[in-house]
């Protein structure tokens, strides 16, 4: 959902440790009275998509989520706005449109029975750890849909993450307001003709690793990895909704639409 009319009075300024981001930080620091993240109404993030995800995860872990306005000083910058050192940031941030994205809440169970709770803003991926293919049972809702998926792995992507790893694995691009999830196999061997599914985000998904001793599998939630996984249980987490801020005419929704028409 998009909206505007912001009145953010206290802004925090964070930058990745890359040379470009640090130079931008030095150029912008004199623009206003920045406050620590814990005291801010919104945060300006300088870097790339990876650093934006890092900041969003840090806020989720801390239990205090505020709107984030990114300025691209990385590679792709799908979650970011164009960097312009001449822009007056407080004005630009307050003119930005708000977009809400919902992460996945993942319960990952390891071989030793430990349960780890993770957040995935883009996707959760299960990946084979060795040369042996993974064998995974796929349950959606209250039914086993695939008893044995033989593959290099499988992932579940949110709409915001559908243009990332999911797209590289030949998964579908999902409109931001679709309330859908993409369930996409990675190099599937059997069933040969199964290429994935688009699912309502209200449905719970369980991915159970078959023969985990011989065919170990790792789980990767955005940038966090756990090895020797037995099972993952996941669902959308609306109670952890995140807000990204975009300049007018540069929304995440438009970028998702535009991505589907790239021909070169």
Which structure tokens are listed for 211? 């023969």
160 is in an annotated binding site: yes
133 is in an annotated binding site: no
263 is in an annotated binding site: no
81 is in an annotated binding site: no
Where do the DSSP E strands lie in the chain?
A: 2-3, 11-15, 42-47, 68-72, 97-101, 104-110, 115-120, 123-128, 134-140, 143-151, 153-157, 180-186, 197-200, 205-209, 217-221, 224-226, 229-236, 242-246
Q: Give the residue from 215, 207, 107, 223 showing the smallest Cα distance to 165.
A: 223
Q: Are 99 and 244 in contact (CB under 8 A)?
A: yes
Phi, psi of 3 (to 5 degrees): -160, 170
The single residue of 41, 49, 84, 228 carrying the catalytic annotation is 49
Provide the CB-side half-sphere exposure for 8 (13 A, CA): 30
50 is in an annotated binding site: yes
122 is in an annotated binding site: yes
Q: Are 173 and 163 in contact (CB under 8 A)?
A: yes
158 is in an annotated binding site: no
Does the active-site annotation cover 239?
A: no
152 is in an annotated binding site: yes
87 is in an annotated binding site: no
37 is in an annotated binding site: no
Extract the annotated binding site: 49-50, 122-123, 152, 160, 163-168
Residues catalogued as catalytic: 49
Extract the annotated binding site for NAD(+): 49-50, 122-123, 152, 160, 163-168
């Amino acid at each position: 959902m998009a909206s505007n009319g912001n009145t953010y009075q206290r802004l925090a300024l964070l930058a990745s440790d890359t040379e470009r981001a640090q130079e931008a930080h030095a150029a912008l620091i004199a623009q206003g009275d920045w406050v620590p993240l814990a005291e801010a109404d919104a945060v300006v993030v300088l870097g790339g998509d990876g650093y934006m995800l890092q900041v969003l995860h840090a806020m989720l872990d801390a239990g205090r989520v505020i709107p984030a306005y990114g300025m691209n000083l990385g590679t792709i910058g799908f979650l970011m706005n164009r960097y312009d050192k001449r822009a007056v940031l407080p004005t630009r941030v307050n003119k930005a449109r708000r977009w809400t994205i919902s992460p996945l809440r993942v319960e990952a169970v390891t071989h030793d029975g430990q349960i780890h709770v993770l957040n995935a803003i883009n996707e959760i991926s299960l990946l084979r750890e060795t040369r042996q293919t993974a064998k995974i049972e796929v349950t959606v809702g209250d039914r086993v849909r695939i008893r044995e998926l033989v593959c290099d792995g499988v992932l579940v992507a949110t709409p915001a993450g559908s243009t990332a790893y999911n797209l590289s694995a030949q998964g579908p691009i999902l409109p931001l307001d679709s309330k859908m999830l993409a369930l996409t196999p990675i190099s599937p061997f059997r069933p040969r003709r199964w290429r994935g599914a688009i699912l309502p985000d209200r449905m719970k998904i369980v991915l159970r690793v078959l023969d985990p001793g011989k065919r170990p599998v790792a789980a990767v939630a955005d940038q966090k990895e756990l090895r020797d996984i037995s099972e993952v249980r996941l669902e959308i987490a609306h109670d952890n909704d995140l807000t990204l801020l975009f300049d007018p005419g540069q929304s995440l929704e438009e970028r998702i639409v535009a991505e589907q028409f790239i021909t070169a």
